[in-house]
Amino acid sequence: METVEFLVLKNLLHNEEYVRKVIPFVKADYFEDRTQRIVFEEIIKFVEDYNKPVTKEILCIEAEKRQDITDDSFKEIRNLIGNLDDQPSEFDWLVNTTEKWCRDRAIYLALMESIHIADGNDDKKNRDSIPTILSDALGVSFDTNVGHDYLIDYEKRYESYHRKEDKIEFDLEYFNKITKGGLPNKTLNIALAGTGVGKSLFMCHVASSALLQNKNVLYITLEMAEEKIAERIDANLLNVPIQDITDLPKVMFESKVTNLSQKTQGTLIIKEYPTASAHSGHFRALLNELALKKSFRPDIIFIDYLNICASSRYRANSNVNSYSYIKAIAEELRGLAVEANVPIVSATQTTRSGYGSSDVDLTDTSESFGLPATADLMFALISTEDLEGLNQIMVKQLKNRYNDPTVFKRFVVGIDRAKMRLYDCEQSAQEDIVDSGQDEEYNFKEKPKKSFKDFKFDQS
């Protein structure tokens, strides 16, 4: 009776279409029998070297050259090769059967490896790596997508242009305008602001808004304690000034939270890490752990904030410049956004020169200009005494891959610091702000320039 392993080897030898289809996904480790594994390794080696299927004769010659087999082993290999007859199988069934076999073997090997790690027999991996090993095995599949053919796949392209993209909408009008309806998945979005301007307030507000949209929200904080972030979100969602939350009677607090839970189907998880101790690898492990233990998969992730994350590429205190270090963190977080298929929102500090500026620019990004190069959306939050007096904060677009950044380049939103909220201002508040991409911050009527004859020269 033919096994799946035998069927795979037979078709790798005689079916070139099958070879092209499955070779990227079949691994030598999947073959439990050593003789079959050796034959598979020689088939793969020949295909990689010569880009064509191997013959039985060449396979026997190449196997005989191996130094890791005995005469008895070679006899078994030659006998196996001789039995690999050219008997065709139905192609779709063959591919589906091979895919299922690959997945089953990957899961089995992952379970064995996990037991090995759990028993403390692996010096290189610890138990934190087990969820990733298992999820990778469960994700084994034959990806049929080999690229977009520009001329043939025009219908798919046209459909994609008119398909409504799944986005996390803002509850702020102008943020929706500049992003064409919200934050898409697989993106990194950065708020740039000075200390105390409102980076965490902005992220807490958007997190609260996403929760009310029935979204699952993960808020990772490396700056403040979990309880402090929860307190800010309480002020926003429970409509209570932050300084009054501690004075609420337990019955009233419980009633407000119960009413809130009835308004949303979403979940908000807040996770605290020590400053500069966690990187994208820790966040990835957290996502796997939340999926396994709580069946929680976030729709959006907030990381407060980027500059105090660690990098998985560089060791802490290693001799690396800040440009490379911060750029690495940004690239790792954007990679995590792509892998998890969610938007990530984070923040960064301005430089000392940008701290008191009323017109922050990309060059005011602290530590690394590699950060704005990686981000999909980057905007500055600007606060001045005049704006504070009006309970407003100015937003200036610095980089935008979703829309033309010169449209609504600057706009203001209302800010209620007591309740940790942002809100839309009246349209009249936007009228004095230039959004055409000009250098001036405010519109004003220029005074007529004086002519040359109007100037008086000092004759003394």
Distance CA 141, CA 144 (A): 9
Domains and CATH numbers, the chain: 4-138 (1.10.860.10), 167-430 (3.40.50.300)
**R_g (Cα) of the chain, nearest Å:** 30
Number of residues in the chain: 460
pLDDT digits (tens, 9 = 90+) for 367-389: 557 788 889 999 999 888 888 88
User: Contact 403/207 with Cβ under 8 angstroms?
Assistant: no
User: Strands 217-221, 268-272: parallel, antiparallel or unpaired by DSSP?
Assistant: parallel
91: left (phi over 0), alpha (psi -120 to 50) or beta: alpha
Residue at token pair 């005011």: 364
Residue 207's pLDDT is what? 95
User: Contact 239/189 with Cβ under 8 angstroms?
Assistant: no
Residue at token pair 């087990």: 130
The 10 Å Cβ neighbour count of residue 154 is 11
Give the list of residues 6+ apart from residue 257 with CB closer than 8 angstroms, or none: 238
Distance CA 288, CA 284 (A): 6
Residue 41's pLDDT is what? 92
User: Contact 378/202 with Cβ under 8 angstroms?
Assistant: no
Give the list of residues 6+ apart from residue 403 with CB closer than 8 angstroms, or none: 177, 178, 179, 180
Distance CA 137, CA 114 (A): 11
What is the residue-wise DSSP string for 215-255? --EEEEESSS-HHHHHHHHHHHHHT--GGGGGGS-HHHHHH
Residue 143's pLDDT is what? 66
**Strand, helix or coil for residue 268:** strand
Residue 1's pLDDT is what? 56
Residue 251's pLDDT is what? 93
Distance CA 86, CA 161 (A): 46
Segments of the chain scoring below 70 in pLDDT: 1, 143-146, 316-318, 351-368, 432-460
Residue 206's pLDDT is what? 95
pLDDT digits (tens, 9 = 90+) for 412-457: 999 999 999 999 988 877 776 655 444 444 443 444 444 444 444 4
Give the list of residues 6+ apart from residue 375 with CB closer than 8 angstroms, or none: 188, 189, 190, 330, 334, 399
What is the residue-wise DSSP string for 69-138? --HHHHHHHHHHHHT-------HHHHHHHHHHHHHHHHHHHHHHHHHHHHTT--SS--GGGHHHHHHHHH
Distance CA 320, CA 315 (A): 9
Residue 351's pLDDT is what? 65
Specify the DSSP element, H or E, that contains 317: none
- Give CA separation, 424 vs 170, 204, 387, 415, in Å: 11, 16, 14, 9
**Strand, helix or coil for residue 359:** coil
